[in-house]
Amino acid sequence: MLETRSCGILCHISSLPSSFGIGDLGPEAYRFVDFLSKSGQRWWQILPINPTEPGLANSPYSSFSAFAGNPLFISPELLVKEGFLDKNDIVGLTLIPGDKVDYEAAAAVREALVNKAYARHCSRWLRSRSFENFCVRESSWLNDFSLFVVMKRHFHGVSWSDWAVDLRDRDPGALDDFSAGHAISIDREKFAQYLFFRQWAALGAYCSRKDVGLIGDIPIYVNYDSADVWVHPDLFKLDGDHRQTFVAGVPPDYFSKDGQRWGNPVYDWDRLRQIDFSWWVHRVRHNLALFDAVRVDHFRGFVKCWEIPAKEKTAIRGAWRDVPGEEIFKTLQRHFPKLPIIAEDLGIITKDVDALKEKFGFPGMCVLMFAFHNEYKESRDFPQNYKPGSVVYTGTHDNNTICGWYQNDLSDIEKKNILEYFGREIDPSEINWVMIEEAMKSVANIAIIPLQDLLGLGGEARMNRPSTVKGNWLWRCVPGVLGKDLSRRLANITIKSNR
């Protein structure tokens, strides 16, 4: 499908309208798919769907599991429709739909309803073939994940590295004893995952019927305080007490004199090579069962990674380390002959990164918003320089919206270059459509438009501001804005651009 000239919309699940604090997998998700289908869109791209944490600002790129689904996306309405709850169970829990996510309220609602569904139906559903099949099918991650969540709660949220040593080090006897004493709580976590993936599968099937493909997102790194690192400490550069020896980041550059110290553990690629990269094979297989294609974040990290000694406060004293990217993707191709991967190759990219991407035929990303810096006609983001196999975005979740950028962020040189390129002054109320049409008519195989750009929203609708921790991941579409006129205009541009 990535080879087909097509287009789609970027909108995270959390950004959908709903009456329960956050967008979810319920009725509005289906309405959104209907809108995409009627508008001629072949793709719905989303951000990572793994669990998020309030302490990490609910960033979808910071999760305690690379495999679990986010329970906040469970639809209360579908729990009623599926018979897990009665209609009266959700009365009084609805919130006034707004343009911001209320994570605290959304979490309280989901916890109460999942607990009620579990208590009411556990005897029937936990013995059902559907639930049993789910637990068997997902046992490679589900058992340890559920145990991890319950242990985190038991130890009041402290990192797994500070648990009792026998539990930290996964002594089989200690794990068995803990599991026996917390069996109901562990089952409840499995049940929540069952509900999530049951609803996800139904939505995915509906997308398929409407000829809308799903593009997921795989962050290259995982969190240190995660089930993944607790279960597989040998796959990361840790010391004898399972503490990090190195952390990931990027070096100092024009934009940051100290670089960026992300804090994620770095992989022990030698150890991963010894097990034939089986953890990555498992991770990719899991995602390809959920999505039709995946965007791989920080693709350059499969060529070289910036390793920072864990004791360092900044990224300055890090060093580049080689990563066996060619071996990794050859291994993945043996398991998945057609790897539907979009390489996130933004920023300063070296020739070896391009070579790896091109060797495996992965489309890279272009961002139209970046096209007008300085000598813009030389830019890789300039439309005339796109490679046919690429994916063009008007902007991404890390940028301002097109309207916010045009009204507030343009440098003098960008203003000059935009005027020169388009040959006219562009009215701020039309800049989003001008940029959408420019992306759509380009030679890029796929054009993806953030929903905020389609709606012509300003900087107040921005999803994320990198290097900040407050006010991110909150934007939500309000009900009723995806109307027939908008759909018709988008469909006309899609047809005109032969997508």
The DSSP 8-state label assigned to residue 7 in this structure reads E
Q: 348: closest CA among 251, 222, 466?
A: 251
Question: What is the pLDDT, as a whole number, of residue 126?
Answer: 57
**Taking CA 390 as the corner, what is the angle to CA 254 and CA 200, rounded to the nearest 5 degrees?**
100
Question: Does any domain span residue 365?
Answer: yes
Cα atoms found within 13 Å of the Cα of residue 10, Cβ hemisphere only: 27
Specify the residue for token string 């005027």: 419
Domain membership flag for residue 101: no
10, containing H or E segment: strand 6-10
| CATH number for position 325 | 3.20.20.80
Bridge partner residues of 308 (DSSP): 247
* Alpha-carbon distances, residue 424 vs 359, 378, 421, 429 (angstroms): 41, 21, 8, 14
- Sign of the four-CA dihedral 108, 112, 113, 115: positive
Amino acid type, 184: I
Catalytic residue among 99, 102, 312, 398: 398
| Cα–Cα dist 185/172, whole Å | 19
The stretches of 54-182 forming alpha helices (DSSP H) are: 76-81, 103-125, 129-137, 139-154, 165-168, 172-181
User: Is residue 134 in some structural domain?
Assistant: no
Q: Is residue 14 part of a domain?
A: yes
In a domain, 171, yes or no: no
Burial 277-297 (b: 16+ CB within 10 A, else e): bebbbebbebbbeebbbbbbb
Strand partners, 244: 238
Judge whether 319 lies within some domain.
Answer: yes
Rg for the chain (alpha carbons), in Å?
Answer: 23
pLDDT digits (tens, 9 = 90+) for 70-90: 999 999 999 999 999 999 999
Residues 6+ apart with CB under 8 A from 265: 221, 222, 224, 229, 236, 237, 238, 244, 246, 247, 248
* Cβ neighbour number for residue 170 with a 10 Å cutoff: 15
E strand map for 227-358: 246-250, 260-265, 293-296, 304-309, 319-322, 341-343
pLDDT at 29: 98
449: nearest Cα among 41, 35, 34: 41
Name the catalytic one among 344, 381, 414, 438: 344
Residue 456, domain member (yes or no): yes
The count of structural domains within the chain is: 1
Model confidence, pTM: 0.96
pLDDT value, residue 279: 98
Phi/psi for 370 (5° steps) reads: -85, 0
Q: Are 23 and 475 in contact (CB under 8 A)?
A: no
Q: How many residues does this entry show for the chain?
A: 499
Contact 197, 130 (CB under 8 A): no
Beta bridge partners of 217: 295
Q: Which residues contact 239 (CB under 8 A, 6 or more apart)?
A: 245
8 Å CB contact between 235 and 276: no
Asked, for residue 222, whether it belongs to a domain, the answer is yes
Determine the pLDDT at residue 127: 65
DSSP tag of 409: I
Q: Which of 297, 307, 381, 414 is catalytic?
A: 297
Q: Are 113 and 76 in contact (CB under 8 A)?
A: yes
As a whole number of angstroms, the distance between CA 212 and CA 296 comes to: 20
Cα separation of 110 and 116, whole Å?
10
Give every residue of the chain whose pLDDT is below 50, as ranges: none
* Dihedral (Cα; 479, 488, 458, 256), 10-degree rounding: 110
Residue 297 designated active-site: yes
The answer to whether 2 and 442 have CB atoms below 8 angstroms apart is no
Q: Give dist(CA 160, CA 165) in Å, integer.
A: 9
What span, in angstroms and rounded, lies between the C-alpha atoms of 184 and 207?
A: 35
- Domain enclosing residue 446, as ranges: 6-72+200-496
pLDDT of residue 122: 74
**Which among 302, 411, 317, 393 is positioned nearest to 7, based on CA atoms?**
393
